[in-house]
Chain A
């Protein structure tokens, strides 16, 4: 299932997760049931889930069969009521989702797609989309990746290396911020453009 959260799970993944939790609880609740009776089905389900998710990565047909397909709920400002019925999606739920995404006028929506994990994604008509810097011909600065350099007094050397910096650079930055040592820093973040954020550790009361 990777790092996805409960709300992002597919139905089959959610069922497997619920089953694993249930199987694990039985030997814990009843001491008469050997631990192995819970562990073997858990391992079996876990392996099956890994295999199924691996196979669905390769097969589009199987993916559609197991996880379903995204449904277009609004097409060029027109609600597809048939699709809504199919997905048991009510008008109230639709308007709630639209309000959550700050869309009040359905006619401004080019597409609203109900994803297989239940999320509604909205594509606004070109005239209603937010203007981008590229459209405005505005040059923007590439700030690069913002990494945590010091967390709660500890220097994250791997992040320093990732940014192509070393501890001498860190010392200089801390000195310019009026801090003697990394141990006095609660959080320090830096990006490729050398924009630095430093939060000093609060003194313990």
Chain B
């Protein structure tokens, strides 16, 4: 019976850990998307300098979570999101509005995708 109880305890720990991980990833992606949205609206008004600064902050924030992301997220997903961030930074610093619009979409899509991947849905199971 001890073995079974220990197994149940481990399962409970794993489940709790998964829930904490999902919440953490949601919060991280939400905060980054908010920053990107803010940068997008600033770029829309022509304030590229502030937009660039916010994007840089977002990139720093994303990179500072490297230890976490490399343990929990597939590495190709991390690389795609990082590339999308730098592509966005490049387009905004060059004041290239047409490229920036696509790059904003790309970053947001990548961040949403990473967060939703961690969620348990019928689609993710099937």
Q: How far is the CB of A63 from chain B (nearest CB, A)?
A: 15
Q: Is the interface of A mostly helix, strand, loop or mixed?
A: helix
Q: Given the complex of chains A and B, what is the CA–CA distance between A43 and B70 in angstroms?
A: 20
For residue B1, CB closer than 8 A to chain A, the reply is yes
Q: In the complex the two chains form, is A43's CB within 8 Å of B10's CB?
A: yes
Q: Is the interface of B mostly helix, strand, loop or mixed?
A: helix
Q: Which chain B residues numbered 1 to 49 have a C-beta less than 8 Å away from chain A?
A: 1, 3-4, 6-8, 10-11, 14, 18
For residue B53, CB closer than 8 A to chain A, the reply is no
Which one of A27-35, A91-99, A106-114 contacts B? Answer: A27-35
Interface residues on B, range: 10 to 19
Contacts of A40 in B (CB 8 A): 14, 18
Contacts of A75 in B (CB 8 A): none
Q: Given the complex of chains A and B, what is the CA–CA distance between A146 and B56 in angstroms?
A: 75
Q: In the complex the two chains form, is B7's CB within 8 Å of A34's CB?
A: no
Q: Given the complex of chains A and B, what is the CA–CA distance between A47 and B11 in angstroms?
A: 7
Q: Given the complex of chains A and B, what is the CA–CA distance between A46 and B7 in angstroms?
A: 8
Partner of B11, one of A31, A33, A44: A44
Given contacts A48-B11, A50-B7, contact A32 B75 (CB under 8 A): yes
B73-87 near A? 1/0 per residue, CB < 8 Å: 111100000000000
Given contacts A50-B3, A55-B4, contact A36 B72 (CB under 8 A): yes
Q: Name A55's closest neighbour in chain B (CB-CB).
A: B4
For residue A12, CB closer than 8 A to chain B, the reply is no
Given contacts A44-B14, A47-B10, A47-B11, contact A31 B4 (CB under 8 A): no
